């Protein structure tokens, strides 16, 4: 069995392509290793997936310490055999052609294969008809060589003699008559000498090519190292920026809580005052009602003598006129908080309208941008211009120059509606909040732009879920697109992945490599909202795809092509993917994710749905065709469910 040729084996390795491929990179194993749970992966792919924890990417078994990795030699041998078989299958036709050598027949019998060619007789002979050349001394001066297929090309077309010389000046083969006539005086050499010169020249060129190839490989290797360094540097920069923006968000949240608490206290104070007066007026009504009843009783006894002597004293409350007290939410504290929020929003709008290089000069006129090459800005989301700015946390305003926010307000006469004393606290609190990354995009703040009542004014900040549910749509999963490892249940609203393939019928629309599924319904116009519940936010991708997305190769994975967009949880990392370009995001660890698709604006926003809907990423892209909600589930046991939308 070991001696059986691979091509003749009844068990073809080509049918085991899926089993011999790494489930992470979807390519044949490179240095396969086995982990304690029994699953196999490429060593580099497995190490890349292990960041903060050590778990199996396929079955999610968690290991307390990093397992010792050992190469699976048996699997490695099988994979090498598989690769050799694949290469042999591709090159089989070319090898067969290369192996076929032209057969040269004997010029005498025209049947047997020639064994020698006589350059004197200009003919090829088999062993039988070559005997005269070997035995007869008259033929001893004849020049014999290996059988030549191009014998006719070695004959001079002018003199019909063997071209046994090579003219250096004209670069062509000639015969002896040519040398005496047309090429008289030309320098010449034998074809063998010319062959040696050509071989030397070609070998010299090969050496030069090898040297250049090696230099290019070295440069590519250095550039790859540079890529890794850039990636590490970008990761550190993003962590630092995320920390800065998170601090600003925390400060804004704190300011918001204080402002809301101020409004609540003002409301409670006013309501307490109203309740006290209402109780007093209710008591007055009871007293006056009692006096009214007494008078009515006396009027009922008007025929008696006692009526003539009766008297009624009205209660003292009759002299008190009821009134509605002055009660509103316009106290100095509430007004100052509201003015602060409005002024801060306006100031941020003005700052964020500027290019990122000019913002620091607006906040600190005397300070220049730090030296260094410009960094590109992302534009994947409607608020990308707010989040992509590379700026430092601003320091407190210079006391000598006065309050920067108040000065900014004074430059706009139409906004001077509040006294400076009312905005004192707001202005002093603004210094550390000027770079707030969240907020309405500048385009939405343009004056005079009409607002549509049934559209959320700002989908890039935390939104009320009821505002999104207006666009709710009912979705079901399409079984014709589901990969054979994807199991659909609960009336086609739940998708999970299993190690055992399902016996789905083959279909052109079915994903054959990646465990993915599309919905039955696509969208090309209007606004649509849906929510997905995840069993765990790990090894799951949620996104959108054109119906024209590839279904067969590794490039069919969501976000790894130009026909799809997705946010993907891989271990503890959350990334946004499109056209094989990755953007690492801050992971909010959601259990329920909402997606708002706006076909008119060309946006898709992903929300962490909790008490409210908190956006964590948006894609901006023009719609070339209808887009379908799409899902990728990798780990065994993971699942996603399309939620029934209820307020």
Residues 6+ away with beta carbon under 8 Å from 328: 270
Separation CA 356–CA 334 (nearest Å): 33
Strands 564-570 and 540-546 turn out to be antiparallel
Chain segment 471-530, per-residue pLDDT in tens: 999 999 999 999 999 999 999 999 999 888 888 999 999 999 999 999 999 999 999 999
- Return the SS3 of 319: helix
d(CA 434, CA 443): 19
Give CA–CA dist 209/203, Å, rounded. 10
Helix (H/G/I), strand (E/B), else coil: 614: strand
Residue with tokens 């906004």: 415
**Which residue in this structure is represented by tokens 């009692």?**
290
pLDDT of residue 127: 84
- Count of other CB atoms within 10 angstroms of residue 27: 12
Cα(58)–Cα(54) distance, rounded to whole angstroms?
12
The tokens for 151 are 């014998």
Neighbouring-strand partners of residue 363: none
CA atoms within 13 A on the CB side of 151: 21
Residue 454, CA distances (Å) to 451, 466, 471 in order: 9, 11, 10
DSSP code string of 514-545? S-EEEBS--BSSSEEEEEEEES-SSSEEEEEE
Below-70 pLDDT ranges, the chain: 1-15, 89-101, 366-462, 647
Instruction: Output the six-digit token pair for 343.
Output: 């002024």
User: Hey, how many other C-beta atoms are within 10 angstroms of the C-beta on 492?
Assistant: 17
In degrees and rounded to multiples of 5, residue 17 shows phi and psi of: -60, -40
Long-range contacts formed by 19-28: CB under 8 A, 24+ apart: 20/75, 20/78, 20/79, 20/82, 23/57, 23/58, 23/634, 24/49, 24/57, 25/554, 26/513, 26/514, 26/554, 26/557, 27/554, 28/79, 28/82, 28/83
In terms of Cα–Cα distance, which of 408, 409, 413 is closest to 363? 408
How far is Cα 646 from Cα 609, in angstroms, rounded to an integer?
13
Alpha-carbon distance of 113 to 110, in angstroms, equals 8
> What span, in angstroms and rounded, lies between the C-alpha atoms of 95 and 120?
36
- Secondary structure letter of residue 155 according to DSSP: B
How many Å apart are CA 467 and CA 470, to the nearest integer? 6
- What per-residue confidence (pLDDT) applies to 386? 34
Q: In what order do the strands lie in the sheet with 540-546?
A: 516-518, 627-633, 540-546, 564-570, 573-578, 581-585
At residue 125, the 3 state secondary structure works out as strand
Name the CATH topology of 465-642.
Answer: Jelly Rolls (2.60.120)
CATH of domain 13-90: 3.30.40.10
Q: List 488's β-bridge partners, or say none.
A: 495
Contact 497, 636 (CB under 8 A): yes
Name the residue among 115, 109, 105 with its Cα closest to residue 147.
Answer: 115
* pLDDT number for residue 457: 38
Strand partners, 162: 155
Termini Cα distance of the chain? 67
Q: Which residues contact 445 (CB under 8 A, 6 or more apart)?
A: 345, 346, 349
Whole-number Å distance between alpha carbons of 8 and 195: 43
If you search the block for the tokens 């946390």, which residue do you land on? 393
Dist CA 430 CA 420 (whole Å): 14
Under 8 Å between Cβ of 586 and 437: no
pLDDT for the residue 364: 76
Check residue 456 and give its pLDDT. Answer: 39
**Cα–Cα distance, 548 to 623 (Å, whole number):** 13
**Angle at the Cα of 369 (from 364 to 375), degrees rounded to 5?**
130
Q: Are 243 and 251 in contact (CB under 8 A)?
A: no
10 Å Cβ neighbour count for 433? 18
Sign of CA dihedral 244, 246, 250, 253: positive
| CA 381 to mean position of chain CA atoms | 13
Query: What is the reported pLDDT for 366?
Result: 65
Contact criterion met (CB below 8 Å) for 174 and 166: yes
Residue 380: phi, psi to the nearest 5?
-80, -20
């Amino acid at each position: 069995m070991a001696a059986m040729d691979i091509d003749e084996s009844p068990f073809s390795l080509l049918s085991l392509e899926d089993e011999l491929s790494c489930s992470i990179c979807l390519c044949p194993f490179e240095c396969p290793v086995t982990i304690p749970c029994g699953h196999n992966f490429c060593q580099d792919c497995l190490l890349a997936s292990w960041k903060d924890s050590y778990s199996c990417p396929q079955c999610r078994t968690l290991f307390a310490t990093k397992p010792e990795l050992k190469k699976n030699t048996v699997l490695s041998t099988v994979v090498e055999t598989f690769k050799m078989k694949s290469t042999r299958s591709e090159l089989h036709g070319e090898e067969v052609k290369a192996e076929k050598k032209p057969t040269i027949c004997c010029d005498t019998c025209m049947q047997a294969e020639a064994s020698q060619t006589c350059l004197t007789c200009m003919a090829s002979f088999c062993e039988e008809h070559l005997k005269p050349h070997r035995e007869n001394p008259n033929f001893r001066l004849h020049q014999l060589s290996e059988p030549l297929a191009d014998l006719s090309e070695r004959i001079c077309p002018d003199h019909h003699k063997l071209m046994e010389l090579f003219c250096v000046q004209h670069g062509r083969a000639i015969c002896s008559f040519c040398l005496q006539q047309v090429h008289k005086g030309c320098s010449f050499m034998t074809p063998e000498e010319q062959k040696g010169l050509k071989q030397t020249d070609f070998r010299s060129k090969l050496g030069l090519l090898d040297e250049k190839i090696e230099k290019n490989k070295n440069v590519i290797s250095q550039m790859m190292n540079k890529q890794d360094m850039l990636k590490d540097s970008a990761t550190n920069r993003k962590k630092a920026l995320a920390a800065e923006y998170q601090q600003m968000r925390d400060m804004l949240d704190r300011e918001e809580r204080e402002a809301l608490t101020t409004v609540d206290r003002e409301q409670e104070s006013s309501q307490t005052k109203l309740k006290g007066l209402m109780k007093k007026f209710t008591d007055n009504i009871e007293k006056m009602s009692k006096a009214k009843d007494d008078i009515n009783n006396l009027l009922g006894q008007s025929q008696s003598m006692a009526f003539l002597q009766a008297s009624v004293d009205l209660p003292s409350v009759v002299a008190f006129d009821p009134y509605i007290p002055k009660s509103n939410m316009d106290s100095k504290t509430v007004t100052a908080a509201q003015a602060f929020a409005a002024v801060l929003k306006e100031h941020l709008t003005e700052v964020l309208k500027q290019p990122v290089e000019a913002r620091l000069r607006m906040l600190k006129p005397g300070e220049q941008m730090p030296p260094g090459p410009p960094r590109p800005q992302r534009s994947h989301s409607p608020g990308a211009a707010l989040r992509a700015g590379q700026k430092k946390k601003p320091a407190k305003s210079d006391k000598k120059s006065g309050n920067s926010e108040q000065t900014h307000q004074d430059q706009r006469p139409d906004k001077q509606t509040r006294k400076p004393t009312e905005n004192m606290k707001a202005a002093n609190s603004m210094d550390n909040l000027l770079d707030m990354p969240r907020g309405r995009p500048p385009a939405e703040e343009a004056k005079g732009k009409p607002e549509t009542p049934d559209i959320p004014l700002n989908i890039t900040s935390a939104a009320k879920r009821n505002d999104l549910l207006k666009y709710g749509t009912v979705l079901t999963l399409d079984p014709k697109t589901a990969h054979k490892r994807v199991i659909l249940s609960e009336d086609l609203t739940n998708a999970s992945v299993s190690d055992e393939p399902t016996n789905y019928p083959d279909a052109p629309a079915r994903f054959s490599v990646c465990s993915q599924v599309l919905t039955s319904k696509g969208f090309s116009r209007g606004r649509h909202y849906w929510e997905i519940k995840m069993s765990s936010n790990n090894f799951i991708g949620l996104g959108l795809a054109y119906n024209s997305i590839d279904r067969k190769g590794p490039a069919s994975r969501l976000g790894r092509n130009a026909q799809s967009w997705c946010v993907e949880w891989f271990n503890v990392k959350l990334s946004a993917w499109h056209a094989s370009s990755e953007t690492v995001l801050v992971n909010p660890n959601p259990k329920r994710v909402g997606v708002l698709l706006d076909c008119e604006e060309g946006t898709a926003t992903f929300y962490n749905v909790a008490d409210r809907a908190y956006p964590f990423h948006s894609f901006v892209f023009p719609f070339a065709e209808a887009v379908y909600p799409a899902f990728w589930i990798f780990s065994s046991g993971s699942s996603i469910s399309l939620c029934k939308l209820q307020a």
